[in-house]
Amino acid sequence: METQNSSVYYIYGICSNNCQLDFIGCSDKQPEENKEAIFCALATEENAHIKRWITDVRDKVEPDIFEIEKLVTKTEAEEALGFWRDYWHFLGVQLINRRN
């Protein structure tokens, strides 16, 4: 989870192809207003799979990013991140960053 000291955390989704949800993440930056900063942070991610994914996606299309939920504590944000990943997986969405 990409964060700094902040009192607001955003759960966000990234759609890369035909409005297909591919990624759910968390940031202390408002997603729509900080799209480039979030994409750049993902491109320098330690996880090689995510780093390769965001780089490949951006070479093909400009992905959409949107806010799913706003929370006030890091603990709430971490719990919400797990919930939203599990929820979308339950609906059949194959997220690239969901731990099985």
Asked, for residue 22, whether it belongs to a domain, the answer is yes
pTM confidence score? 0.87
**pLDDT of 99 above 70:** no
Tokens of residue 69, six digits: 């939920």
- The answer to whether residue 38 sits within a structural domain is yes
- Range of the structural domain that residue 27 is part of: 9-90
Structural domain count of the chain: 1
**Res 3: pLDDT:** 47
Gap between the Cα atoms of 10 and 45, Å rounded: 18
Q: Report if residue 2 sits inside a domain.
A: no
Q: pLDDT tens-digit profile of 23-80?
A: 999 999 999 999 999 999 998 888 888 999 999 999 998 899 999 999 999 999 999 9
* DSSP state for residue 28 in the 8-state scheme: S
